[in-house]
A and B are shown apart, each in its own frame.
Chain A
Amino acid sequence: MSMNDFIDNEVKNNNVVLFMKGTPDFPQCGFSGQVVQILDYLGVDYKGINVLADDDLREGIKTYSDWPTIPQLYVKGEFVGGCDIIREMFQAGELQTHMSDAGVEVKAAS
């Protein structure tokens, strides 16, 4: 499987996927850590994928979405944004709505 196929498979077969530096339990970058905190606060199930584990993945994810930075959040197969966008959406209450509209369960009180 090519790297692009691997990424595409992860994005399309998981409701919420976060490509990040480090893991949800141990983020290795402040920007990735911020998105982890927001997702944990909202109480959505998500899959964290550590791009530091593989150089091809780290470069491949930038090509896949034509987005030069990490973290990257995907919901229901669609790219939603990086750290700044996710934080802005969260602060505006739009991220919760986006998840709900996409059929993703938000377990925390909004």
Chain B
Amino acid sequence: MGSIEKQIRDTLSQALDPVRMEVINESHLHAGHAGGTPDGSGETHMRVRIISAKFDGVGRVQRHRMINELLKPVLDEGLHALALEPAATTDKVRW
């Protein structure tokens, strides 16, 4: 596990008490592209899937804002892309 992935996992686990969470490093999909590394190594593009009761009754934009705020240090350190799939416990998910 990379250090950014660990930072994301630790931060969100502690703050959002997720029912389920996946942190996926998609950097290899962006090798040689803008913001990626030439060979797709490293942690430039991350995707977070997370189910938490803290999202119950919360709108989409606000859910993202909650996560963005928590992960601001990671973004400020230069993470190029952060894709988010936050779900409430009542939402249907396909992962």
Instruction: Name the contact of B81 in the complex, choosing from A67, A69, A79, A80 (C-beta under 8 A).
Output: A69
In the assembled complex, B75 has its CB within 8 A of some CB on chain A? yes
What string of 1s and 0s marks CB contacts (under 8 Å) between B43-85 and chain A?
Answer: 0000000000000000011001100100010010000011111
A31 with B81, Cβ < 8 A, contacts A21-B34, A68-B68, A68-B72 known: yes
Query: Which residues of chain A are within 8 angstroms of B75 by Cβ–Cβ distance?
Result: 68
Closest chain A residue, CB of each to CB of B76: A68
What string of 1s and 0s marks CB contacts (under 8 Å) between A68-106 and chain B?
Answer: 110000000001111111001100000000000000000
Question: How far, in whole Å, are A31 and B35 apart by their CA atoms in the complex?
Answer: 12
Report yes or no: B61 in contact with A81, Cβ–Cβ below 8 A. Answer: yes
Instruction: Name the contact of A69 in the complex, choosing from B60, B82, B85 (C-beta under 8 A).
Output: B82
Question: How far, in whole Å, are A82 and B68 apart by their CA atoms in the complex?
Answer: 12
Query: Which residues of chain B are within 8 angstroms of A30 by Cβ–Cβ distance?
Result: 30, 33
Report yes or no: B64 in contact with A84, Cβ–Cβ below 8 A. Answer: yes
Report yes or no: B34 in contact with A82, Cβ–Cβ below 8 A. Answer: no
- Taking the closest CB of chain A, its distance from the CB of B43, in whole angstroms, is 16
Instruction: Name the contact of A83 in the complex, choosing from B30, B60, B72, B83 (C-beta under 8 A).
Output: B83
Report yes or no: B65 in contact with A82, Cβ–Cβ below 8 A. Answer: no
Report yes or no: A81 in contact with B68, Cβ–Cβ below 8 A. Answer: no
- Taking the closest CB of chain B, its distance from the CB of A97, in whole angstroms, is 14
Question: How far, in whole Å, are A28 and B80 apart by their CA atoms in the complex?
Answer: 14
- Taking the closest CB of chain B, its distance from the CB of A86, in whole angstroms, is 10
In the assembled complex, A29 has its CB within 8 A of some CB on chain B? yes
Report yes or no: B34 in contact with A66, Cβ–Cβ below 8 A. Answer: no
- Taking the closest CB of chain B, its distance from the CB of A75, in whole angstroms, is 12
Question: How far, in whole Å, are A25 and B59 apart by their CA atoms in the complex?
Answer: 31
Closest chain B residue, CB of each to CB of A85: B60
Question: How far, in whole Å, are A67 and B60 apart by their CA atoms in the complex?
Answer: 13
Query: Which residues of chain A are within 8 angstroms of B33 by Cβ–Cβ distance?
Result: 29-30
* Interchain residue pairs A-B with the least CB separation, the first 3: A85-B60, A68-B75, A84-B84
